[in-house]
Amino acid sequence: MLLPLKTGKTKIMTDNPNKLAVITGPTSGIGLAFAHKLAQKGYHLLLIGRSKDKLEHTSQLLIDEYNITVNYLVADLSNENDILTIEESLKRLENIELLINNAGFGIAGFFMEISLEEQLKMLNVHIASTIRFSKAVLPAMIRQRNGYIINLASFAAFMELPGSVMYSTTKAAIIKFSQTLQAEISKYGIKVQALSPGFTPTAFHASIKREAEFVDRVPWFLWTPIQKVVDTSLARLNNKDVICIPGSFNNLLFWINKVPVLSKLIQYIAAKRQKEQAGYTAVIAHKSIQKTAAAAR
């Protein structure tokens, strides 16, 4: 929930003393790398995450290293009330230049195996928070005739991967949301980016059950370093393209995946590895659903 803001030392390093960036999920991986990069550029930061301890630790590191102001708000973005509370706080920001909707998580497993509750949490973390926070900051950006919104999508958005139904669905929604929003608001000088990384070495994969073993087998050329993801995103922020795919191999894969036979092959491999890792629980779940349906008849 919303906690009193923690404020660090204020010493302006930029030519614009009011430059503020808001980052969700800044406590590890891509969000943390964005926080460091933006702090280095002299942005003041408002960090939004679910762990007070991690936020406090991250804020202190950034304050000590970069002489900027760092505030934080604690919120579990899978919880609708927390999202609404943060939305109200963001509406009050006058000087926001950049919003990064980065918080996210993965679930491994077939659609029919995973509890609906867990899957619907993803709608809140990936979509509801992104939509509400974007709408909350846009009035200030429109007034300033300046602003950037980076929404973390994923390369998975371009694929139909068995075992990744809600992840691919929510990330694809983020891409469409970003593209359509951009079409409406570019006249105000605001840029929206749908950042779509492929495999990036963060805590993301370890936190997904079943992923650990699979991730060890992903070849090196499919990985993009975290720093490259962040640098590519910021370097392309003023491009006209909404979708930003870091890494040259991922860009090639984007086109390969458009060839139907190759995208089917990728789907086949994804389904195979899900079955291997799940011990065919999806098939069992499917059979039990059939049995329940038969008993009900």
| CB closer to ligand NAP out of 163 and 197 | 197
Minimum Å distance from CB 241 to ligand NAP? 17
| CB closer to ligand NAP out of 94 and 118 | 118
| CB closer to ligand NAP out of 144 and 202 | 202
Minimum Å distance from CB 294 to ligand NAP? 38
Minimum Å distance from CB 206 to ligand NAP? 8
Secondary structure (H, E, C), the chain: CCCCCCCCCCCCCCCCCCCEEEEECCCCHHHHHHHHHHHHCCCEEEEEECCHHHHHHHHHHHHHHHCCCEEEEECCCCCHHHHHHHHHHHHCCCCEEEEEECCCCCCCCCCCCCCHHHHHHHHHHHHHHHHHHHHHHHHHHHHHCCEEEEEECCHHHHCCCCCCHHHHHHHHHHHHHHHHHHHHHHHHCEEEEEECCCECCCHHHHCCCCHHHHHHCCCHHHECCHHHHHHHHHHCCCCCCCEECCCHHHHHHHHHCCCHHHHHHHHHHHHHHHHHHHCCHHHHHHHHHHHHHHHHC
Set 167, 188, 268, 280: catalytic member? 167
| CB closer to ligand NAP out of 60 and 186 | 60
Which residues contribute to the site for ligand NAP (CB under 6 A)? 25, 27-31, 49-51, 54, 76-78, 102-105, 125, 152, 154, 197, 199-200, 202-204, 207
- Most distant CA atoms of the chain, gap in Å: 72
Minimum Å distance from CB 45 to ligand NAP? 14
| CB closer to ligand NAP out of 94 and 213 | 213
| CB closer to ligand NAP out of 84 and 284 | 84
Q: Does 167 qualify as catalytic in the annotation? A: yes
Minimum Å distance from CB 249 to ligand NAP? 14
CB-CB contact of 147 with 97 (8 Å): yes
Closest CA to 178 of 160, 197, 196, 165: 196
CB-CB contact of 232 with 246 (8 Å): yes
Residues designated catalytic: 167
